[in-house]
Structure 1
Amino acid sequence: MIGSPIIPDAIFEQARSNKARVFSAHAGDGSSGAERKKGDILATLQHTPKFKLDATAPFFAIGSCFARNIELSLAQQGLHCVTSQCVFPDDYYELRGFGARNGALNAYTPGSIMDLIRFAKRSEAETVALQDVGDGQWADMLMSGLRLLNDDEAASARKQLLQTYRNLPDARTVIITLGYTESWREKATGMFINRPPAGNMRLNRRAGHYEFLNMSAEQILGAVHTSVQEIYQQTEGRAKLILTVSPVPLASTFTGQDVITANDFSKGVLLAAAREVSSAYDFVDYFPSYQYVIHSHPEAAWDNDGVHVKYSLVNRIMQRFCEMYFD
């Protein structure tokens, strides 16, 4: 466990048996970190799973847009993903022409992930963070990428979201993908949301109902621990958890910093939290999807926008995942 002391004999033995221990390329045998980063299109990483997963049991994917990529890749390999079943009509989205899809499920921050996991327990689950913008239209602040919805559409979309999280206890594997630290929450309820109060004039006028929070390392760690413990309780200890960090950078930052340094803070804190939390539970493992992307060949990894990961690389990463975690 990270943060716990280890006696010298044990740590020396662990170091001796680690074939991926050295970064410097001076050995020249291909085993160094420097050589493995330069070798294949996909970085070669040593990763030993803590446990095996049941490929026949339901999966549940929570997190940023990279979580949707993971989910799609697993579904194409024949796995049953609960969250794949929750699709919203193309017409509900601000960006249309991509067909019915579940991108509205994207949850980008540890706070919003935590609150969605606990969402179905709330007495006001059907209305919390559902912003009335007037003229019979609503902004569902818990969902990403949706346009303003009328009364019936808003009720239907919220019902679908709620039912999806009510199905979480059925999952036997839950994959959580942490996106970034820059967060928004509703002042009245403290509920973390999944869209900023911006991009629409009527929503902008109600920005005072919300507050921005760039979550600290301590806050992130607490939120991830809470998420893990909540899933354990809801699934009665039957689910295994995989923690990952999305390699997709911030599209832009609210902090006033250079977006590059702001993104480095986000990813650094999330990576530290994911590793520390996964080391604290025997039913939680960390999978290095972030490192697979970041240390792979850039032309093979990134779309032209420099933000989104090429789906061909995601597929290769998830093939590695399946080889490691499934018998």
Structure 2
Amino acid sequence: MHPYESLPARSFWRSAVAEADPTHLPGLWTPAFSLGQDDPILTAGSSFAAHIGPALLAEGMKWYDAEPAPPGLTEEERRDRHYGRFSFRTGDISTAAALRQWLTWAFPEEVPPEERAEPTEVWSGNGRHHDPFRPAVEPGGYATPDAVRDARRTTLAAIRDGVTRASCLIFTLGVTEAWRDRASGLTYPVCPGTVRGTFDAGRHVFHNFTFPEVHRDLSAAVAVARRVNPGLRVLLTVSPVPLTATATGGHVLTASTYSTSVLRAVAGQLAQELDDVGYFPSYEIVTGFPFGGTSFGPNPRSVTPAGVALVMSHLLTGLGVPTGPRREPRTTVVPPPPVPARTATREEFRCDDAVLDYYHRSPVPLAR
């Protein structure tokens, strides 16, 4: 007898992948903890994470919208202003550093003084003002810099409320590439000058986070949240969406592989190190070999509605939620429509990273 003789079918490629139905791979995910339909669940992260809240609601789970839209807004206005996209109106949080940053601002008493960095910067232009740390959230901008800061305080209050009350945080890691402020060390969600703002080469610096840095920031973020809510469970996922563009100077394909590899490794490591931290394989379900890239649109970058549905069915099945006829949601939320494959429409500009495709220039044909 040797160990391989007693392994289950999910441990072998032939039985678990080659001969299995790719729409349902038994044993692909075993949750590290259980969640009931009355457990408040927070969602945050990269643009792909915007699909999770509506899917949970549609199946009767208690997705917690800590910052609901005010009355009187149309459906389109709620979408444009990022209401109902995540549990908080932070916009995309694609890096572990940005998650740690938001939690540090929300719970300053839980963070050592030397790590506190209160954001005061406001981007202004054409008589309007924008938040550098969520530049796409209010498309028309704010009337005054103080209005920017007031809106940010509202979101920080929502984070405090949500993290304190929640049973679980589902966080989707997006990228390792980021732009930072040289003086303060603060991390921006996008490069200044793309969505909003003005790029300053002397001030704005590119940074590609390493495994130790992502591990440090994500561990610290979990620690801050658990100091105010010791029972908070965390489910980590990695976005299957590749980079729109890379600032490394290398090829975008290898840059995407590096980014995803680091994030996937960190998520797996923390799931092993910390109690009640799990990993859900959304990345593998979309990009894995047995799925043959069928979950991507023509670009191939945007995940199709069918691909999103496949990911959500695995998530809900693993949680023990029967995915059948739609039940009445616990609250109202407007699900984001799928991002178009090529053109930079209003919906595409709701995704911070996707806007970079707007700056693409067709390459010069290579000489033969």
> Do they fold alike, i.e. is TM over 0.5?
yes
Range with greater deviation from structure 2 (72-81 or 58-67): 72-81
Of the candidates 2, 20, 27, which is equivalent to residue 10 of structure 2?
20
1:149 aligns to what SS in structure 2? coil
Paired residue total: 304
One-letter amino acid matched to 1:140: D
Distance 1:126 1:82, change over 3 A: farther
Show the counterpart of 2:184: 189
1:33 maps to 17
Distance 1:264 1:118, change over 3 A: same
Q: Does 1:198 align with 2:193?
A: yes
Q: 1:89, 1:248 → 2: CA distance?
A: 33
Structure-1 residue corresponding to 2:93: 107
Q: Deviations over 1:248-269 (max 9, x none)?
A: 1111111111110000000000
Q: Compared with structure 1, are the counterparts of its residues 299 and 96 closer, same or farther at alpha carbon in structure 2 (3 Å cutoff)?
A: farther
- Shift of residue 70 of structure 1? 1.2
In structure 1, list runs of 5 or more residues that go unmatched: 1-8, 26-30
Retained in 2: the 8 A contact 1:42–1:297?
no
Q: Please list every run of 5 or more consecutive structure 2 residues that lacks an aligned counterpart in the other structure.
A: 322-368
Q: Determine the C-alpha separation between the residues in 1 that align with 2:62 and 2:79.
A: 22
Q: Give the alignment of 1:172-183 within 5 angstroms.
A: 172-183=167-178
Query: 2:9 aligns to what SS in structure 1?
Result: coil
Per the alignment, residue 60 of structure 2 pairs with 78
Structure 1 length normalisation: TM-score?
0.80
| Matched residue SS, 1:82 | coil
Return the offset for 1:140: 1.1
1:149 matched to 2:142? The reply is yes
User: How far does the alpha carbon of each residue in 1:17-63 deviate from its partner, in whole angstroms, 9 at most, with x for none?
Assistant: 3322223x4xxxxx143344xx4346665222222112212111121
SS in 1 for 2:254: helix
The residue aligned with 2:29 is 47
State how 1:248-287 maps to structure 2 within 5 Å: 248-287=241-280
Tell whether the 8 Å contact from 2:16 to 2:25 is kept in structure 1 after alignment: no
Give the 3 Å change call, closer, same or farther, for CA 192–57 of structure 1 in structure 2. Answer: same
For 1:297, the equivalent position in structure 2 comes to 291
**Using the alignment, how far apart are the partners of 1:317 and 1:234 within structure 2?**
31
Distance in 2 (alpha carbons) for counterparts of 1:314 and 1:100:
23
Per the TM alignment, residue 170 of structure 1 is displaced from its structure 2 partner at its CA by 1.1
Q: Which residue of 2 aligns with 1:211?
A: 205
RMSD: 3.2
Q: Distance in 1 between matches of 2:81 and 2:23?
A: 32
Does the C-alpha gap of structure 1 residues 14 and 74 become closer, same or farther in structure 2, counting only changes over 3 Å?
Answer: farther
What per-residue deviation string (whole Å, max 9, x for no partner) do you get for residues 123-178 of structure 1?
99996153243565333122152444331652453133212211221111101110
Q: Distance in 2 between matches of 1:323 and 1:53?
A: 12
Give the conservation status (yes or no) of the 8 Å contact 1:73–1:314.
Answer: no
Residues 70 and 207 of structure 1: is their aligned pair in 2 closer, same or farther, counting only changes over 3 Å? farther
Is the 1:198–1:207 Cα contact (8 Å) retained in structure 2? Answer: no
Q: Distance in 1 between matches of 2:202 and 2:35?
A: 45
Structure 1 partner of 2:352: none
TM-score (norm 2): 0.72
- The one-letter amino acid paired with 2:158 is T
- The SS at the match of 1:130 is coil
Distance 1:108 1:14, change over 3 A: farther
Percent identity for Structure 1 against Structure 2: 24
Q: What is the CA deviation profile of residues 206-259 of structure 1, one whole-angstrom value per residue up to 9, with x for unaligned ones?
A: 454332210011111111211222222121x21111011010111111111111
